[in-house]
Amino acid sequence: MLAGPQSRLAEFLMLVRSTRDFLRGFRILHFVGPCVTIFGSARFHADHPYYAIAREVGRRTSALGFTVMTGGGPGLMEAANRGARDFGGRSVGCNIQLPTEQDPNPYLDRWVECRYFFVRKVLLFKYSYAFIALPGGIGTLDELTEALTLIQTGKIRNYPVILIGTEYWKPFVDLLKEMYDEGAISAHDLDLLLVTDDVDAAMAHLEANAVKVFGLRRVPRREPRWWLGERGVAPPPVAASEPRSGQSE
């Protein structure tokens, strides 16, 4: 994509491939219910301290009635999906095709395979009412700052953004404060984040700022239309709230 203009055929094929991924993603994820997207490192596996925390975050998020959505890969993404499975809730992922590190984890009810990062990010944000960032690398930071940018610019609503791991995220928070001191961002932008080590506090923040603020309510499951090739996802013991797009209206 950085090679500049290519042949008309090559650019047309890129358009077709991205459109195909969008259509497939919209069809697969249409019935997953309102989600909370959980970001985190693909490299922190079961022996890492944050794996157990991510698993608990996934379980508790599912217990609120949300579908847990991740990037679909290993590490903390796997842990969050595994936590949703622990509770018996919905667990979905938007996987990206990469040479290493990124195979769909075994705790997904449904997943989308994306060729392009920009398609994947649209899907990760489209269906979610909140975003939780666990410790991670450049990809996690990219997704986190994308969420903050979309909220700051009004492209999506003022959905809660939660950072788990105060020490880990301290340099990032300090950078935001420095940006504020320099006048690059406003004081309101600093309020877009909750930074905590307390899972109880994170869940209370979700309840107050996602469930209540946006008037989510329990509704019967909507049946997929077979003639469109749609398949549903089995409902969790706690009924899902009414699905609405994560995009602003």
One-letter amino acid of 165: G
At 187, give phi and psi (nearest 5°): -65, -35
DSSP characters for the chain? --S-S--HHHHHHHHHHHHHHHHHHHHHHTTS-SEEEEE--SS--TTSHHHHHHHHHHHHHHHTTPEEEE-S-STHHHHHHHHHHHHT--EEEEEE--SSS----TT-SEEEEESSHHHHHHHHHHTEEEEEE-S--HHHHHHHHHHHHHHHTTSB----EEEE-HHHHHHHHHHHHHHHHTTSS-HHHHTTEEEES-HHHHHHHHIIIIIITTT--B-PPPPP-GGGT----PPPSSPPBPP--SB--
CB-based burial of residue 3 (10 Å sphere; 0-12 exposed, 13-18 middle, 19+ buried)? exposed
Q: What is the pLDDT of residues 120-131, one digit of tens each?
A: 999 999 999 999
Q: Residues in the chain with pLDDT < 70? A: 1-3, 100-102, 218-249
Angle at which helix 199-206 crosses helix 49-63, to 10 degrees, equals: 30
The pLDDT score that the predictor gives to residue 7 is 87
The pLDDT score that the predictor gives to residue 240 is 42
Contact 128, 215 (CB under 8 A): no
70, two tokens: 């991740």
Q: What is the pLDDT of residues 207-235, one digit of tens each?
A: 999 999 988 876 655 566 666 665 555 44
What structural domains does the chain harbor? 9-218 (3.40.50.450)
CB-based burial of residue 121 (10 Å sphere; 0-12 exposed, 13-18 middle, 19+ buried)? buried
The pLDDT score that the predictor gives to residue 237 is 39
